[in-house]
Every structure is written in structure tokens, then in C-alpha cells.
A and B are shown apart, each in its own frame.
Chain A
Amino acid sequence: MTTRLFGEPVRRREDARLITGQGRYLDDLGAGALAAAFVRSPHAHARILDVDVSAALDVEGLVAIYTWEDLPGALAEPLPLLIPHPALTHGRTAYPLAREIVRHVGEPVVMVVARDRYLAEDACALIRVGYEILKPVVGIEEAVRGVHLVHEDVPGNVGAHLVQEVPGHGGVTAREAVEAAPHRLEFRLDVERSACTPLEGKGVYARWDADDGSLRVYSSTQTSTSVRMAIAAKLGLPLPKVEVIAPDVGGGFGVKIVHPWPEEILVPWAARLLHREVKWTEDRREHFVSSSHERGQVQHVRVGFDDDGRVLGLEVEILHDHGAYTPYGIIVPIITSTQLLGPYKVGAYRVEFSSIYTNTVQVTPYRGAGRPQGVFCMERTMDKIAAYLGRDRTQVRAANFIQPDEFPYDQGLTFQDGRPLIYDSGDYPEALRMLKELIGWDSFAEEKARAAAEGRRIGIGVGCYVEGTGVGPYEGGHVQITSDGRVHVSTGLTSQGQGHETVFAQIAATELGVPIEKVSVVTGDTRRFGYAVGTFASRAAVMSGNAIALACRKVREKALRIAAEALEADPRDLEITDGKIHVAGVPSASIPLATVAVLSNPLRYAFDEEAKRATQFAGPASDDRPPVAEGEEPGLEGRDYYSPVRSTFAAGMHAAIVETDPDTAEIRILRYAVVHDCGKLINPMIVEGQIHGGVAQGVGGALYEKMVYDEHGQLLNASFMDFLMPYATEVPRIETAHLETPSPLNPLGIKGAGEAGVIPVSAVIASAVEDAEGITIDRMPISPSDLHHLRLTR
């Protein structure tokens, strides 16, 4: 019997390459290419008066300088607004190079191409841009006052406004439900800005083939197929003349799903114009000031509840800071406002958000994509209800859970994919039971008392979430078995280190009955697979995993059909073991898949010994059937697509024990426990790795990371020295337990896992610090300095 690889903790096949420096990242390519660099706005809001390049012209090795005025046709238009929405009444996007107005520090104004990056930066330093400073709009409160405008034609700086309301029993509104409830609470919450900050920034490398009129572009992107279409459209090239490849990518976390970035169309344009290879590699400061941020929100909450803590009515108003532009629409606040409900059923719900322009870097999804803010809101609410009623925090949550027999559960809202928010499956009471056991919830009070007797302060916190994963519209897979018996899998979405080479190979090896060593996987290369959406929203395993499984099933069916003929057996009696097709229970009557691959492709010419078997005089063949039967294609390959009706909903619950220093106010995480349910596990080791990475980023958001803008719109901490991404030393050991409630929506029964770890961490740490200190925590992240001052105002 073939080893069943699906579900096994197979070691990551890509790691040997990646950790020994054999990875091919963007900057490893194009050693001889010209280098691009950008003059970026030093001001948050200003009018460009003039650009004086004269001093830069003397730089030896300078090749070209471009401003907006130089851009032809569609390149001179604003960048696309990728996800329009009726509520986004005032969507605005930037130009590839600024036209007249700059709206945040870091916006590209001038593009320089030179022999190398050093010289390009020398030239940048000599270009003088004259600006008339305009009043910058910084901070949500300043923006909603609407005194100064980010865009002259957007009144009140409001880009979008959306209300969703789910009435309670008997059509009662949330307002009515809150008013009628036995108990009410009202409060405000603040979440700071953070950002993806992948260790590899963005990068683009373009090669123009003048004779062929074709362009090959490498981009550190999360969507090569869509970048390809954008380049073809912006440069007026036929789609078949453009290929885009995502090489090894050193992290994405959302920022690289946005496209086309200005550089993704400017660099190929320059390559074509100059007939030279051109490359741009983003540096760290550029990434901080010109890529995307996320998270920043202010939330106003009113909640009404009964004596058991059951939420009868919930009203939430969200002010969402989306920065200067809205290329990715309003996906982030939509996710916040819908996923806020988590594993709970609330009596009546009303959520209203305004998405607000400020003169800061644009906001687009970062791992979690609006969920950490929503979960922070809901979980703070649960803790406040528990505190008000004097009840255990987990009891209040349990009182509000959707029960296992209530699936599919319709929350009555419209989700980010435009589909109804219907949870497909889950078991929240069991997840909570497992979590309490894992962390020792019920015995913590004694532990806390013991610590207090030693003068130590410890606290425990909990947080629950539901994550809609695997959003559509589709992904595809192509599987080909060649005459050497190797299995070649390709899918269009891209990889940024998730382990796709391993999990997709596990799926193919399991479906086809071949050793995993025979399977190779290619992702994100439009030469291999042209149709795809991209890697985001915890969707790769669900979407491409299922598409690859379906493609494998097609190949398997064809292989069995051919083998049945050769073995004179019924295909229903055949199985594949270790790369050989044989009659079930009769291993001797077998034919290798390699041979089936040969037979699948009728040949006239033999190029090796194996190929001889498929040539026209090789063996008996029917004289009255064409060599390729009707409805068949030569070759042992298959292609299929997976397109779900809606998202599948993963869930999880985290708990932490923290210690706060009574004197220094330092906060240390003593234990961190995760119960995670992403349906059927393809590879538990990789899922745990995803959780660890997510929790690490969550710890960053809870205790360390914020984007600090001053009143002039200058980002004060645009480096890893002052933007405090946690080191390994700041990330606790993570204890994990898995629950598997399969998704009924897809053939493999899986749900996404990519973002899960990050989502509830701020809520969990706030809960734990509050428990340790007895101080209300309504704002994250929290630093020792913050905690010190909270103590003083207690």
C-alpha cells in the first residue's frame, strides 16, 4: 500500500534550498541589469512646482530620468482601483509617478535609471524638486474633522461609508435591543498601525526581447498572473507577449497582493524603452514609506446583554484609516465589520464604518486583514461583560457560542467575497474545552495567588476568532506525468515561503499513488499556468490544493483507462501503488505509470528505448480506431479548477499567561497556547509553522509594533531599529492542539491556515495584562512605558 502522505508531517522540501542560500530571490537575478531608484516625496502633502534634474545629469553612468510628464498612454493614468464597491463612493488611487500633488511621504515623484544602484541613488540625491507645502491630514480624529482635505474632491475625507444591520428576534434593531437589555456597556477602543514588513521587500526585474517583441518580468509578488495582465494593459502589449514569474519570495503577508505597484509597470516600461534589462530592488526605508500599512482603527462599541452575559444587541462604529489611497478598495474594514462576530451569535447587530483618507501610506490587507481589529473589539467586549457580571470570561464566551448542531450558520451579513457570511462547520465548545485544558484555565486562580504571595503579578487571557478562508473566485492545477515517471504539478498562485512545494506534492503523491520524490511543484510562473488569482486570504491550500487534487483525479482516471487496456483488466479493479498500476491484490500484474505515460502519447519517432513502445509498429493496435481516440488528448496530463460557492470558515482560540514587573512594568509572556481548527490537516508541521509565524506577528502587534507619524506626516520610525518587529527572543514557545472539523464545501475537507496565528493575539494579551494588573486595556499595542502611565492614572 502506498504511504498516505496527506495528513503527515512531511518535512518541508524547499527548506534545504532556502536555508543554505540557494534560494533565487528577486535581487539574485539580473546581475548585469540597469538599476532603477526613485526620488520620493519628503512631504506628506504638497504641490509639485518644478523638477530640476540638471545637477544629476553629470552623474557618470546615468541612463534616464523620468517624471509623470514622460509617461505615455495608460501609464499616465491613475493606478487601478482593484476592488470596486458601491459603498466606496470616493475611491482614489495614485499615479505611477506623482502628478501635481503628493499625498504621503514616500510617494514616488521621479524615476532614475543608471548603471548601478549606487549611481542611481547619487543621481536621485542631486535632483531638486520644488514643493508648495499643503496642510497634511494626520490621524483619524484630525481627518474626520474634515477641516483639511487629502483629496480636494473628497468632502470630509470620507472615502467609503457602509452600514450592515442584522435584526434580532421579531425584527428588533440593534439599537432597540441594546436599549431593552438588562445591562449595557459603552466604550471606545484603539488599534495602532502596523505593517507586513516582509524581510524581502518588493522588487521587479524586466527583460525586453526586442526581436520577439516580448517581455519577461520577475516580480516579488503574490500574484504573477494579475501583474501580467496589468503590465500588458498598461504597456499596450498582447497578453501572450508578456510573461511574469514570481521567483522565491521572502515573505508577502499581504503587501505583495497589491498590484500593479508603480514599479511593476515603470520598470518593464523602461526596459522596453531602453532595450536594456532594468531592475529595482526596494530598500527598507522605501518599504516603510511607500508600501502599505494596516490595522489603524478607532471603534465605538455599545452592547446590551442579559444576566448570563448573552449579547442581545451590539452596535459598533468603526473609523478606519485607509491612508492616502484605496487601491484595494474597502476589503479591510469589510472584514473587520463582518468577522468581528467570531464564533458568537448576537441578538441584533449593527455595524457602521467610515473609511477615512489621511496623508499617510495607503492601507491594504496585512495578514489577518482587518480581523485582529474585529476580534480585539469582540473579545474586549466579552471580557468587559464578564467583568461587569463578575463571571468567568470563558463562561461568557460559551454562553454566546454558535453550537455544533447549528451549522451551516448564517450570520446575515455580506462577506468580503460578496457572498453571504455563512459558516460551513465548526465546534467551538470543544475548542474552548481543549484550550482550557491546555493552558490550565481552571487552576490558574491558585497559580495567580501563589505568584502574588511571592510579589509577582501574573494574569491569564483568552481570545476566540473565526476566519473566512479560501475565498474565490477560483484556482487551477495542472498535472503531467512524463515518460520518466515524474509528476509535474503547476498552479498559478504564488509562494512566499508557505511550503507549497511540500503540501501540493503531498496532495499529488497521495492522489496518484506515487512517491513524493517523483513530484515537483511550480507556482507563480505564467509560462506554466496562466490562470490564477493569487496567494492571500489563507486560500492557497484550499483553492490550489483542491484544484490540484481534482486535476490528479483526471490524470489517474486516464492512467487507469490506458493501463486497463494494457493489462486486459477492468479499470475499476486497478490501483496505483508506488508509481505502478496493478490489479488490486495482484501486484505482479502491473505496469509503471512511466510506461502508461509513454503509451498515452502515440509516437512516430522513437527517441529512446521507452519511447519505442509507443511507436506505430511497436505492438498490436486496432486498425479501425485513430491512434488518439475521439475525446482524448495525447499525453498523461490533466487540468482542473476549483471554484467554491463561498468561503470556508476556520476557527481558533488562544490563551496566554503573562507576567508584569511591578516596578519596571515590563510585560513577559510566560505561556502561549493555541487550539486551532483548519479542517483536515494536509501537513500538521506546516500548519504549526504557520501558527508560530502568525503568533509572532501577533505579539508584534500586541506589544511592540506601531507606525509613529508626527503632525507633519513624517513617519518617525521607518527602520527596524525603531519599528520594533519582535525578535525570536520576544516570541514565546507556542503550545498547540489541533481540532479537525472538515469543511463540507471542498473535496479535501480543508480550510485555510495562513493568517490564523496572528488574529486574536492582541485581544489575548490585552485580556491577560488586564487580568494581571486590574487595569482596563482599551488600546494596543501596550509598551512598558504605556503600562507605567496606566498604573499612575489608576
Chain B
Amino acid sequence: MKPPPFDYHGPATLGEALDVLAEAGPDGKVLAGGQSLIPLLNMRLAAPAHIVDVNRVPGLDGIEAGPPGVRVGALARHAAVERSPEAAAALPLLRQALRLVAHPVIRNRGTVVGSLVHADPSAEMPAVLALLGGSVRLASRGGEREVPAAEFFTGPMESALRPGELAVSAFFPALPARSGTAFHEVARRHGDYAVAGVAAAVTLDEDLRVAAARVACVSVGPVPVVVDVTAACGPRPAASADWEAAAAAVRDRVEPEGDIHATADYRRHLTGVLAVRALRDAAAAAHGEEA
């Protein structure tokens, strides 16, 4: 369990980092929190020729929260975002989700943007970005581009990031007024990747009827599965919304696979159960916000 040989780069500026990445091309890999990359290296499941450690690059650890949403820099640790009162105020879902990400020691080093780039369909933060319709900002020597979540996650552990690019930040847009969110998951052990999990966002109209309801599901497809269940719930008051119908719609949409921890059927069933719980809690939170 020792990594194969690689060249280590520790750029001191963003420009320098982008230069190194441009030269390394497909053989380059960015090291930020290292919580996924280092195990992959040690198990020799990844063998990049160049490791570009961006931890010394200034200005990448920002957490900017405002009415439009929260922008999280490439070096902002899970724990920093989880504990940021501004981020929690702007988007309670961030804290709700981050509390489910692995364990405190991993959150202390791991980064939100790193988790997005790793694009594990079992991870919480890709689901959050997908649910909110956020985006990832990718920088390269040629310039910057902002890629929406729907285009960013392209497959299991695959993203739209191209060789030579560095994901410098991610943007999580805020929800409209009278919105609430929740994240429910079932993991085999506390902090493990979820067997199934559902993030939900519900927005109520002025009469406190469901105006919009959406979920994003983890561990039940190649990428986070976003389902708009507004129609299934019906434009009813939250208390009488048909969450079971919404869950049925979710169960129909997901494409889980079985593995050594759970069968596909159980994952589908569980996703429905968690969808009801997450939608109900999200609606209650939307109510609470109104009150």
C-alpha cells in the first residue's frame, strides 16, 4: 500500500498551478484534501505521473455567502463550510448534508469542491449541487468556464473537468422564499457512504401550498438522480400533500444496482421511504421559515 512513483508539484500561485496542470495534461492530478486521492494512490488504483498540490495557493479557501447563494473555494474544507454561520443561514441544506459526510477527521481535511470533482454518485455534496442546480467554476491557462451541475456530473467518478483544468470554486444557489430543505440517508455505519439517501427542497406559494418540490438521490444511479415531484405532490397544502405519490415517482425514476451491502430492490424501496421523510421535513422547514 505505497503509491507508485510520481512527480510532486507545490505551486505557490494559481497561475503557477494552471501552468503545471497544462503541462501535465492527462497525467496530472490535483491534490487538495486528499481524502479520496491518497487511498487511491496507496492502493495503486490511480497512478498519475504528476501530483499538483494546490494547498499553498492563496485565495482558494473562500466561503462567500449572500442572497444569491454560497460560493465555496477549492480549498474550503467540509468542516469550514459546515461551521460557517453565513453559509448555513443562506442555505441550511449545506450544513444538513455536510453533517452526513464521512467523519469529523475526514471533514477537517476533505474539501467540498474536491468531493464534487471526485463525482462519486454515493456522495452527498454532488447531490446537493445537483438538487440546487448549482455550478462548478473550472479554470485553465486558457480562461475560466462555469459548468452547471446537470452537465458537470457525467458518470460514476466522472466529471466534465478536462485535463489542464482546476476546479477553483463551486456555487450553490439559494432557494426562493418559503423554501425548506432536508437530507435523509441510511448508511451501514455512521459516516459511511449511504446505501441510499435523498436531499429534498420544497418551496411553498403564498397560500402555503406546494409550489415546487424536488429531490436528489444518492447511490441509485451513475450520477445524482434529480427528480422534480411537484406534479406528483399536487398543489396542495404541505400538510395534505401526497408525499407517497411523490415517493412512487422517485422509485420509478431511480436505477439502483445491488452490491454486497444492499440489493437493488432494497435501495429502491429505501429511496422511496427516505424521499417521503425528506420531503415532509423540507415542507415543514418551509413552513417554519414562513412562520
Contacts and interface: CB of A to CB of B under 8 A. Distances in A.
Q: Which of B44, B186, B195, B260 has most chain A Cβ within 10 Å?
A: B260
A708 B260 contact: yes
Q: How large is the interface on B (under 10, 10 to 19, 20 to 34, 35 or more residues)?
A: 20 to 34
Contacts of B8: none
A783 B261 contact: yes
Contact of A727 (B3, B4, B191, B270): B191
Given A125-B4, A285-B43, A729-B189, A784 B260 contact: no
A533 to B, nearest CB: 33
A402 B2 CA distance: 55
Q: Which of A708, A717, A722, A785 has most chain B Cβ within 10 Å?
A: A785
B114 to A, nearest CB: 17
B74 to A, nearest CB: 25
Interface in B1-27: 1-5
A788 B269 contact: yes
Given A117-B2, A788-B266, A729 B261 contact: no
B270 A783 contact: no
Contact of A285 (B1, B191, B192, B263): B1
Nearest to A37: B2
Contacts of A704: 188-189
Contacts of A284: 1
Nearest to B258: A785
Interface residues of A, number: 28
B189 A784 contact: no
B262 A783 contact: yes
B83 interface: no
Contacts of A664: 186, 270, 273-274
B189 A730 contact: yes
B145 interface: no
A730 B190 contact: yes
Interface string A713-730: 000110100101011011
A663 interface: yes
A730 B192 CA distance: 12
A284 B1 CA distance: 8
Q: Which of A664, A783, A788 has most chain B Cβ within 10 Å?
A: A664
Contacts of A730: 189-190
A283 B5 CA distance: 18
A789 B266 contact: yes
Contact of A716 (B2, B44, B260, B269): B260
Contacts of A789: 263, 265-266
A663 B262 contact: no
A727 B4 CA distance: 31
A399 to B, nearest CB: 39
B1 A784 contact: no
Nearest to B264: A785
Contacts of A727: 189-191
B195 A724 contact: no
B226 to A, nearest CB: 22
Nearest to A35: B2
Interface in B195-228: 195
Contact of B273 (A121, A125, A663): A663
A118 interface: yes
Interface of A: 117-118, 121-122, 125, 283-285, 663-666, 704, 708, 716-717, 719, 722, 724, 726-727, 729-730, 783-785, 788-789
28 contacts: A118-B2, A121-B2, A121-B4, A122-B4, A122-B5, A125-B44, A285-B43, A664-B186, A664-B270, A666-B186, A708-B260, A717-B260, A719-B43, A722-B260, A722-B261, A724-B188, A724-B192, A727-B189, A727-B191, A729-B190, A729-B191, A783-B261, A784-B186, A784-B188, A784-B195, A784-B262, A788-B270, A789-B263
User: Ordered nearest first, which 10 A-B pairs have the shortest CB separation?
Assistant: A729-B190, A283-B1, A785-B262, A785-B266, A118-B2, A663-B273, A708-B260, A788-B266, A121-B2, A117-B2
Given A724-B188, A724-B192, A727-B190, 9 more contacts: A117-B2, A118-B2, A121-B1, A285-B43, A727-B191, A784-B266, A785-B266, A788-B266, A789-B263
